Structure 1
């Protein structure tokens, strides 16, 4: 099953979850699972609330709900960048359940490469040194869906857009995952997708932002209040208004680290 397939949300909400393994590189408990319902099966990621690591700046037990809120924002805007995501009971209690995305092998959209091997047309973000001390550069593809993801991250105030969170699906789509530390009321944008900073937002991003702003005044606002505080929903609307008024991709803040560490 792929993210856009009909019935994906129903499968995630009502399917039987069987834990098959754990993604050990994740900061919080992240379980790889099979899920099945009425003869339909798929793989999913299950993150139980009880497995969330406490953070100094995000309230305890809220990360799963923020993942769902990020999905709701993506869908309301028409970005289509977050795999179907729900909050439901699971084998280890309530948690976030998200459809697994199969990715292309050796076809990353974010990379660290030697300075003389930047792929043609890619955007350079940061020059540094690799683990051997050789000059290297953090780059990402100049891909239209990655560009939309940069706008989406600015809207949801993503504090942790690592390179490994940008997935190039086997079906050709681009998806972002791991949105647990998003949608804070304070500015916390940290991302590897700075390649368009200061450039004009593309028309599809502007149209998505307008749809999102309209939704926030309607049903979407009520849905988000199930997962976020009123101050956080209000800050989301303010970020949308600010982006639409500026019409350009934002620049990093001098008050907050601009790139997550590690970057992948």
Structure 2
């Protein structure tokens, strides 16, 4: 049997993710499981234009592809049962792995993890937000800087069985103003590795060619220009940036 045409074959809804802030459905195209977020189900936001989150998710996939790191699962725009929306290939993560975690202060792992911040839980116990110190998560942190991700929660990182890490939920990206809010602050100030610089460079190169043309159909000219400026600044400075002054550095909730 031929594989279904993911762009036009019937999309059937099979469930709904009720914890999402915007209407988010599980579905299938033939036997291919997908996530579907209709534009009509997007909640209005004070700092992002209405009805643009699906386009931003599709744009994030294009940038991920340009970087060559397979961070964002295949994502595209198409019609569905509730109108035009974002469709993304479903990823079955490993329930036994957590790339980001909250642990008691006296139970910190000895190595392999980055300490982000500490606070107190409801019972007054000191807890620490940590994330793994891995090449896959470093690349995701670089990607978030490039796309100006305003919502990198812990649960937006999918830990796959083979060690790969996928990032999802990229509706709050590509704002022209600094909006970086993430749980991945463990490499703050560290120099970029050569492969990380190469990934950013591939985005810059693509913006002058096919990537730029494709993004122009999804984002405003000002947002594409801001993306180019972020890439250039990241390469000039050559290190993971600090949080912006006067802005929140963390998403809420954290997970």
TM over 0.5: yes
Q: Please give the alpha-carbon distance, in whole angstroms, between the structure 2 residues aligned to 1:143 and 1:118.
A: 17
Question: Which residue of structure 1 aligns with residue 93 of structure 2?
Answer: 103
Please state how far the C-alpha of 1:11 moved relative to its aligned partner.
4.4
Residue 3 of structure 1 corresponds to none
> How many residues are matched?
252
Equivalent of residue 160 in structure 1, options 143, 151, 156: 151
For residues 110-259 of structure 1, the aligned pairs below 5 Å read: 110-119=100-109, 120-259=111-250
- The answer as to whether partners of 1:159 and 1:190 remain within 8 angstroms in 2 is yes
The aligned residue for residue 16 of structure 2 is 22
> Are 1:73 and 2:63 counterparts?
yes
Contact 2:112–2:134 (Cα < 8 Å) also in 1? no
- TM-score (ref. length: structure 2): 0.96
Distance of aligned partners of 1:42 and 1:135 in 2 relative to their CA distance in 1, 3 Å threshold: same
State the partner residue of 1:60: 50
| 2:76 counterpart residue number | 86
SS in 2 for 1:194: coil
TM-score by length of structure 1 reads 0.93
Please give the secondary structure, in 2, of the residue aligned with 1:96.
strand
Looking at structure 1, the residues matched to 61 and 234 of structure 2 have their Cα atoms a distance apart, in angstroms, of 20
Paired with 2:142 and 2:128, the residues of 1 have a C-alpha distance of 22
Between the aligned partners of 1:82 and 1:117, the Cα distance in structure 2 is: 32
Contact 1:12 1:98 in 2 (8 A): no
Alpha-carbon separation, structure 1, partners of 2:9 and 2:94? 26
Name the Cα RMSD after superposition.
1.1
Unaligned 5+ residue runs, structure 1?
1-6
Structure 2 stretches lacking a partner, 5+ long: none
Structure 1 segments (4+ residues) deviating >6 Å: none
